Amino acid sequence: MSVNFANSRAEFAIDFGTANLRVIHRDDGVIFDEPSLCCLADGEWGPALVAAGLPASEMSERTPSGLRVRRPLKRGVLQDIGSATQLLRYAVPKVRRRHLFRTQRVIIGLPADATQAERRAMLTAAHDAGLNPLDLIPEPLAAAIGAGLAVREPRATMLVECGAGTTEVAVLSLGGICQTRALRGGGDELDQAIIDHLHFHHKLLVGRRSAERIKRALETAAQSANGKCSLIEVKGRSLVSGLPTSLWIPSAEIAGVAEKHAQHIVDLVREVLGATTPELSDDIHTHGIFLTGGGAALPAIRTMIEAQTGLGVTLADTPDQCVGRGLLQILHGEQIN
């Protein structure tokens, strides 16, 4: 797979992720960054938008009957064209206050293994939101560029992009993707695993926002405890008493849940390594594997890949921003041949 947008004259790029929607301008950088969420109300003529982005995030898991908060993307791909259009329409007026958005070409990042149907769905949602003309770019390429990797060189670069809805493993060389595999289920799957663990083992119900906080607390505990077990406070509703309660759970227990999640990523990495040609494999052995994406900071991913492959693993700086930085560099004329 190869891409060349050097002559597209695009001024805007959109990083439409499962967790966040970012709009990037060629001169001003990130000008919109809010959660990929919409709050909809049942109306006589169909669902009506109540809130989107950050306001919708604050409503999540707190809505009364008649209102529902939805994510346009699930497991990394567009599942709801209507809510995606609503979210883009929410973002576009904010951008248009500063720029003439409609008349400028736009590029949008998508998973490398997105099907033609999934690509058409994204193009339809963007077109319905008034964004046209459009180009699509594989997110692993954008992430690699944003991480500062030499993707145009005649040598292999192996990247693991850990998103909220999908995890992608790609081998890149000469500005193209040589091998790629995707695991539909990223950080969101770990959130659900934490919810299920607390439900079955502690009779405690927690929501996705709480699971996200627990996951971040685990990352902080791993960085500060120097290998020692610490305690993480977990708040939710007890299934025994039916009342709000809190528990202190050893970080090692949550780490065990995270390791099961990380093992799926390791298996994906091993699968891609097994399909890579000898010359590319030699390059990967020399330069190692690079981690990007919002879920890449989970300690288990790096340690388990190193332990089970024997390869060095490098975490990119601000890994959650790599796709956005890469899109910005492409807007500045970074050519991918």
Domain-by-domain residue ranges, the chain?
12-32+75-143+322-331, 151-315
CA 186 to chain centre: 7
**pLDDT given at position 125:** 92
**pLDDT given at position 233:** 92
Domains 12-32+75-143+322-331 and 151-315 share a fold: yes
Is 326:143 a contact under the CB 8 Å cutoff? yes
Q: From CA 238, how far away is CA 241, in angstroms rounded?
A: 6
Which of these, 182, 111, 104, 120, lies nearest to 141 by C-alpha position?
A: 111
Homologous superfamily, domain 12-32+75-143+322-331: ATPase, nucleotide binding domain (3.30.420.40)
For domain 151-315, give the CATH number. 3.30.420.40
Tokens, residue 194: 């934490």
- Of 55-64, 72-81, 195-204, where does the model show the most confidence? 195-204
> In the predicted model, what is the mean pLDDT of residues 77-86?
88
- Within 10 Å of residue 196's Cβ, how many Cβ atoms? 12
Q: Residue 253 burial by CB count (10 A; 0-12/13-18/19+): exposed, middle or buried? A: middle
H or E, element range at 30: strand 29-35
The percent of residues in the chain predicted with pLDDT above 90, rounded, is 62
pTM value? 0.88
Q: State pLDDT tens for residues 84-124.
A: 999 998 887 666 555 555 556 889 999 998 889 989 999 99
Q: Which of 39-53, 129-143, 194-208, 242-256 has the lowest mean pLDDT?
A: 39-53
> In the predicted model, what is the mean pLDDT of residues 299-314?
95
Number of residues assigned to the chain: 337
